[in-house]
Structure 1
Amino acid sequence: MTNLEAHYDHVIIGGGMAADSAARAIRTASPEATIAILSADPHSPVYRPALSKDLWTGEDADPASQELHTAEETGASLFTSTLVTELWPNSHRVGTARGQSIHYGKALLATGSSARHFPGVEDDRVVCLRTVGDYRHLRGLAQDGARMVVVGGGYIGSEVAAALTRTGAQVTLAHAGRHLLEHLFPASITGHLEQTFAEHSVTLVPGFRLMGIDTEDELVLHSGQAESLHADVAVLGLGAVLNTNLAEHGGLDLDSGAVVVDPYLRTSARDVYAAGDIALFDDPLLGLRHVEHVDHAQASGTAAGKNMAGAEEAYDYTPLFFSDLFDDGYEAVGRLDASLEMREVWNQDRTAAVVHYLEDGKVEGVLLWNTWDSVDRAREVIAASQNDQLAPEELDGQITPG
């Protein structure tokens, strides 16, 4: 590893997908610029979705196969295990936990999110899945016959539970709702998913709100309903916390817990940009929002990198997100919220669907269930609906399921 210099043209704080994309965009636009990537993670940037997807379902379980090779391919100087603790926008400097001070021309905050842990519990058998280190640790614990309890029926919890069935472990998925993923999907899909998980020997425990964890010879997880689950390993999918402490202490404007950016992804501080999970941006279709998915991380990182290198290109993108659960998969755009009005369109054999999510008669989101190559059209449907050019009764024929 090269030594950390006192000055760089561009300092990128964070070691995820947004940081990687920004470094590539800067190098393309400004080949002679000096770039430092300061990452608290001890591992090089990887394609993070693989940690809960491909590394469990493919032939290669080594996370090195998902490494992005950011430093080699961009010429940036990558410094892992380097925690940035201070941001001084007025003097264009950042400080590290080791007491180093680095001057920057432009800085990017791409600090992402951290897994939400259960307070007061420190045990190697209680795991979250967010980093390469987490993946390797969980992979080692997922032995044939091990009792694995996944807590949380959201995006990451459902993916992890599905992934663990590949290991021979006994998998239980405990979640707070009445039905799996009911906050996202209509009953037609949640019912199908519950049947699919049961067919793959996943025990579903609805109505489970984690209230405590005993860490004796075996783990005992307690719910608010006096119900207990016994486990060898607990995997917590309790959501994520935005890593905005650096921005907050640096005096940057925050709103709704995220870092406010302008159309060019600039923060309230001169020459400081933000991308990825932490950025509160103006979505061209849906207004102010922050998005915690890889498509946004990559797209906003690229846009921020271009603008740091001198472009003035607005970030006018509506991100997608996606997941695979056994033999089913989906892509989606916008808000998937089951409290909204949901209009479903199914193919003839009911293996694929398009679900429109409406509020006050306008489409806020589109789910493409086992329906592919339709994301751009979904964005067009949202735009037309938001602009009063598409009535709810006209939605059925807009996107063909399948």
Structure 2
Amino acid sequence: MKVGIIGSTHAGVFAAKSIKGEHPDYDVTVFEKNDTVSFLSCGIALWVGNNVNDPQNMFYESPESLVQQGIDMKMRHEVTVADLATKTLTYKNVISGEETTEQFDKLVVATGSAAVIPDLPGLDSDKVYYAKNWDDANRLKEIANDVKRVVVIGAGYIGAEIAEQFALSNKEVVLVDGADRVLANNFTAEFTDRIEAKYQEHGVRLELDQFITGFEDTDNGIIVKTTKGEYEADIAVLGIGFRPNTTLFEGQVDMLKNGAIITDKYMESSVPGVFAAGDASTIFYNPTQANDYIPLATNAVRQGLLVGKNIDGKNVAYMGTQSTSAVELFETAMAATGLNPVTAAKRGIEVEQTVIEENYRAEFMLTNEKVLVGLTWDKQSRKVLGAAFMSRHDITQAANVVSLAIQAGMTVDELAFADFFFQPNFDQPVNYIGAVAMAAAAN
């Protein structure tokens, strides 16, 4: 069996390793236009802020290691034409320019996502930076210590983290977003109001509810123009989101409107023998029981592993995802899983949210921290659909607990009586997950 894999970030790497592990006799070839694999881009902001012990540890695999595992790595080779029906790829050596055409028995699309880059005047300025791949990370890191003024565009996870790290490095930071709140797609106002106060305490200027209209270079930096004003800085960092990197396959395979390749629960696309995984594909979102597009490394890893399990047949079904995530900003941990009222409304779903705040551990402890908890649930079925947590204490694993509850189809009544331990160093006699579920169950 001859398998071609296009791309080698998380989905491509894990697909290659999984296929080779399941079928050592398969001929597996990976095509990667860059010279690195498996870059943990979620660490870019931490590296910019000097919180990474060694940048090489931001890669968990290397081309050399994958070759040793029996995988043919075509590094610095870009696939330029893909005929999915015939499983034929044309690829170019980006150094020599030489092109080759080759046919495979099966293909895996793991081309990931691309940064959303709007068509705006002045965007080609060398003072505009991105935060997507290893080259972006290097370019940003080179100037991080020297710049004094930064405009960060986009207040999702990436933009929020970059703005925080520059603020902690005593830079003048302006954070711009089209939404009216920071992290508006991840948390409700009960949570974002508090983290916005943290930004302002650290001197970050929040310029929200406005859209970028263009950029203009100056002798000393760059002016970022929006629908509400102009902001001058040494550099601008653009981080407004991602889109599936699938233009190569348009018209050949079923996709969502945004270009995400739709797969079945065995990671196979509408074209037999063509699989897709990671940011290039849809996920099955358990809270809504529907296909969705939520690019996360955790989704990509699991989907890549499933490709290997199913490359020779429909063997192991995808269990879906709750798209659980977390971030730490200004020593405050924030974690979320599933839906909240805002994200549910965008999908046309009516939900309830129960919010409580209490100390995370026994009241008699000498030190303690408040934890803010929000539980999202369906009033008709009473099923748990999401949760959010926020505290100076690390409460992020609680999101994993509720993620399992959603996957298992638990109701708030069942979660209220789930068995959680009590030990005063760690929690209350009624753990805050159980406490918020009890509050919801009382409704």
TM-score band w.r.t. shorter chain: 0.7 to 0.9
Q: After the TM superposition, which of the residue ranges 142-151 and 152-161 deviates more from structure 2?
A: 142-151
CA distance in 2, matches of 1:401, 1:40: 50
- What secondary structure sits across from 1:60 in the alignment? coil
TM-score by length of 1: 0.87
Q: How does 1:13-24 map to 2 (within 5 A)?
A: 13-24=6-17
1:117 aligns with 2:117: yes
Aligned residue number for residue 353 of structure 2: 342
Cα distance in 2 between the residues matched to 1:59 and 1:241? 27
Task: Say if 2:35 and 2:75, in contact at 8 Å, map to a contact too.
Answer: yes
Quote how far apart the aligned CAs of 1:326 are: 2.6
Counterpart-to-counterpart distance in 2, 1:19 and 1:393 = 36
CA distance in structure 1 between the aligned counterparts of 2:158 and 2:111, rounded to whole angstroms: 19
- Which of 15, 23, 26 does residue 30 from structure 1 map onto? 23
CA distances 1:146-204 after superposition (whole Å, capped 9, x unpaired): 21110111222111111223444322212233332244323332222122222333222
Q: 1:99 and 1:67, CA in 2 relative to 1: closer, same or farther beyond 3 A? A: same
Q: CA deviation at 1:16?
A: 0.9
Change (3 A) 1:154 1:283: closer
What SS class does the counterpart of residue 51 from structure 1 fall into? helix
Verify: 1:48 aligned to 2:52, yes or no: no
Query: Which letter maps to 1:81?
Result: R
Q: 1:67 to 1:256 in 2, by over 3 A?
A: same
CA distance in 1, matches of 2:313, 2:137: 38
Partners of 2:283 and 2:415 lie apart in 1 by: 31
Change (3 A) 1:122 1:92: same
**AA aligned opposite 1:366:** A
Whether contact under 8 Å (2:49, 2:166) holds in the other structure is yes
Distance apart, 1:393 and its partner CA: 11
SS at match of 2:17: helix
CA distance in 2, matches of 1:232, 1:83: 34
CA distance in 2, matches of 1:55, 1:151: 16
Measure how far apart 1:86 and its partner are: 1.7
For the pair 1:296 / 2:299, whether they are aligned, the reply is yes
Question: Greater relative contact order: 1 or 2 (C-alpha under 8 angstroms, separation 6 or more)?
Answer: 1
**Structure 1 segments unaligned to the other structure (5+ residues):** 1-7
Q: What is the Cα deviation at residue 18 of structure 1?
A: 0.8
Q: Please tell me whether the aligned partners of residues 4 and 106 of structure 2 are also in contact (alpha carbons under 8 angstroms).
A: yes
Amino acid at match of 2:311: M
Q: Is the 1:335–1:366 contact (alpha carbons within 8 Å) kept by the matching residues of 2?
A: yes
Contact kept, 8 Å, 1:381 with 1:390, in 2: the verdict is: no
How far apart, in 2, do the equivalents of 1:156 and 1:293 lie?
Answer: 12
Pairs within 5 Å for 1:143-158: 143-158=145-160
After TM superposition, list the pairs within 5 Å mapping 1:207-226 onto structure 2. Answer: 207-217=209-219, 218-225=221-228
Identity of aligned residues (%): 23
8 Å contact 2:48–2:141 — kept in the other structure? no
Q: Which runs of no fewer than 5 residues in structure 2 stay unpaired? A: 93-97, 345-351, 360-367, 418-429, 437-443
Partner of residue 274 from structure 1, selected from 276, 288, 294 = 276
Change over 3 Å in CA distance of 1:89–1:145 after alignment to 2 = closer
CA separation of 1:125 and 1:41: change in aligned 2, threshold 3 A = same
When Rg is computed on C-alpha atoms for both structures, the one with the higher figure is 2
Report the counterpart of residue 66 of structure 1 in structure 2.
58
Residue number in structure 2 paired with 1:368: 389
The alpha carbon displacement at 1:352 in A equals 1.9
1:170-319 correspondence to structure 2 within 5 Å: 170-217=172-219, 218-225=221-228, 227-249=229-251, 251-257=252-258, 258-287=260-289, 288-310=291-313, 312-318=315-321, 319=323
Q: Is the 8 A contact 2:178 2:209 kept in 1?
A: yes
Q: Specify which of 66, 72, 83 is matched with residue 77 of structure 1.
A: 72
Evaluate the alpha carbon distance shift between residue 316 and residue 401 of structure 1 in structure 2; reply closer, same or farther with a 3 A threshold: same
CA 327–398 in structure 1, closer or farther in 2 if over 3 Å, else same: closer
TM-score, length of structure 2 as denominator length: 0.79
Give, in whole Å, the separation in 2 of the partners of 1:115 and 1:70: 24
Mapped contact 2:186–2:336 kept (Cα < 8 A)? no
Instruction: Give CA deviations for 1:109-164 in whole Å, capped at 9, x if unaligned.
Output: 11111111232421221011100000110111223452111011122211111122
Which whole-Å CA distance do the structure 1 matches of 2:191 and 2:237 have between them? 24
Equivalent position amino acid for 2:201 in 1 = E
Q: Determine if contact 1:53/1:324 at 8 Å carries over to the other structure.
A: no
Whole-angstrom distance in 2 between the partners of 1:328 and 1:32: 49
Instruction: Indicate the residue corresponding to 1:5 in structure 2.
Output: none
CA deviations 1:270-306 (Å, max 9, x no partner) are 2110001222243444322222011101111111122
Query: Which of residues 381, 384, 389 is equivalent to 2:405?
Result: 381
**1:93, distance to aligned residue in structure 2 (A):** 1.3
| Paired AA for residue 308 in structure 1 | I
Q: Give the aligned partner of residue 90 of structure 1.
A: 85
Q: 1:231 to 1:383 in 2, by over 3 A?
A: same
Match of 1:331 among 328, 335, 338: 335
The one-letter code of the counterpart of 1:342 is Q
Q: Which of 362, 365, 375 does residue 356 from structure 1 map onto?
A: 375
Letter in 1 for 2:257: S
Assess, with a 3 A threshold, how the Cα gap between structure 1 residues 219 and 145 changes in structure 2: closer, same or farther. closer
